[in-house]
């Protein structure tokens, strides 16, 4: 069908996931889910490249009505189980100590290859690489030379042991990846170990505390033109052109479900950056979108531009 092959406005690549719940059930997750839905709500025509079994793919299609999806069939979904515990001393150095996630990888879908991207989709003006478990080779970033290429790198920063326990690792193929990106969007939590992991168990290059994480981010910001560090309710930091970061406040929200807020932020930031060319306006815009997104469960809270205008003094772009 023509809809399946025409170039989208916003291409998102990564695994849709099963996120296990305490009662043994699961819900749809994955950066592609939240980012593509955000782009759709903001008036873009997104498309998704992923790998998921039939039930996860059906849930993704239900969440993203009308969005074309290129799927690599797989018998197993990428599956995460998350447990939240209080922050340790190294995290309390931050202005707020959000709960720390102890994460296990319980299944892994098929790796993604550039051949899975329809040729026409390679002309998308915005491309978000959103790996969750190393499913995207960092060399993917070179496949879209004319696009605004960005990454949420958490899936390149994860390692896991034989039990599936996830812990941080060094950025995979950083020398290949970073020079190919126009924007990198992450949180400190993507870099820092859980409080029960001893320092001697960490691989070289993994920061042990917040100052070390900030130093690593600053080093990446000397390579990538725009680096954004999301900070939950506190807002975000923007590194532009290697300068010291500028802080942007968050917006009040009646938080119900923060899941996916970072992915919502990333997609909103890229939509606004592409529309305006102004990274400072894009960060502020994304903070507003992310704030509204946490007020309802799942993707239900991701706002349209009209909803943003009703809540804030935001003029929608055509």
pLDDT tens-digit readout, 279-307: 999 999 999 999 999 999 999 999 999 99
Is it the case that residue 81 has pLDDT exceeding 80? Answer: yes
Q: So where are the chain's domains?
A: 2-311
* Tally of residues, the chain: 318
User: To the nearest whole number, what is the mean pLDDT of the chain?
Assistant: 91
| Residue 6 pLDDT class (50, 70, 90 cuts) | confident
What number is the average pLDDT over the span 108-126? 96
| Residue 100 pLDDT class (50, 70, 90 cuts) | low
List the structure tokens of 238. Answer: 């923007």
Crossing angle of helices 31-41/279-293, nearest 10°? 110
Phi first, then psi: what are they for 148, rounded to 5°?
-75, 100
| Residue 99 pLDDT class (50, 70, 90 cuts) | low
What pLDDT is stored for residue 1 in this prediction? Answer: 30
| Residue 315 pLDDT class (50, 70, 90 cuts) | low
Is it the case that residue 203 has pLDDT exceeding 60? Answer: yes
For residues 119 and 110, what is the distance between their CA atoms, to the nearest angstrom? 20
Residue holding tokens 């815009």? Answer: 285
What number is the average pLDDT over the span 244-250? 95
pLDDT tens-digit readout, 118-160: 999 999 999 999 999 999 999 999 999 999 999 999 999 999 9
What number is the average pLDDT over the span 82-91? 63
Q: What is the DSSP letter of 136?
A: S
**Was domain 2-311 assigned CATH 3.40.1190.20?**
yes
For residues 54 and 77, what is the distance between their CA atoms, to the nearest angstrom? 9
* 3-state SS record for 218-267: HHHHCCCCEEEEECHHHCEEEEECCCCCEEECCCCCCCCCCCCHHHHHHH
């Amino acid at each position: 069908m023509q809809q399946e092959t025409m170039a989208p406005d916003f291409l998102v690549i990564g695994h849709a996931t099963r996120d296990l719940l305490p009662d043994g059930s699961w819900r749809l997750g994955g950066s592609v889910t939240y980012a593509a839905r955000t782009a759709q709500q903001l008036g873009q025509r997104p498309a998704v490249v992923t790998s998921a079994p039939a039930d996860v793919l059906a849930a993704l299609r239900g969440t993203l009505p009308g969005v074309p999806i290129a799927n690599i069939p797989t018998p197993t979904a990428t599956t995460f189980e998350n447990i939240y515990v209080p922050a340790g001393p190294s995290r309390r150095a931050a202005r707020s100590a959000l709960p720390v996630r102890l994460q296990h990888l319980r299944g892994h879908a098929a790796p993604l290859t550039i051949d899975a991207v329809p040729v026409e989709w390679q002309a998308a003006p915005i491309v978000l690489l959103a790996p969750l478990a190393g499913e995207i080779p960092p060399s993917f970033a070179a496949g879209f030379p004319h696009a605004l290429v960005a990454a949420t790198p958490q899936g390149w920063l994860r390692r896991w042991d034989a039990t599936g326990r996830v812990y941080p690792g060094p950025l995979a193929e950083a020398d290949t990846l970073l020079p190919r990106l126009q924007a990198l969007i992450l949180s400190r939590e993507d870099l820092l170990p859980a409080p029960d992991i001893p320092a001697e168990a960490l691989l070289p290059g993994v920061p042990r505390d917040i100052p070390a994480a900030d130093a690593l981010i600053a080093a990446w910001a000397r390579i990538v033109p725009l680096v954004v560090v999301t900070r939950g309710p506190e807002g975000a930091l923007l590194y532009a052109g290697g300068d010291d970061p500028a802080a942007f406040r968050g917006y009040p929200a009646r938080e119900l479900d923060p899941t996916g807020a970072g992915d919502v932020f990333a997609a909103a930031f890229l939509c606004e950056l592409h529309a305006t060319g102004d990274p400072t306006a894009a960060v502020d815009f994304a903070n507003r979108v992310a704030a509204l997104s946490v007020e309802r469960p799942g993707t239900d809270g991701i706002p349209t531009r009209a909803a943003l205008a009703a809540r804030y003094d935001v003029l929608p772009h055509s």
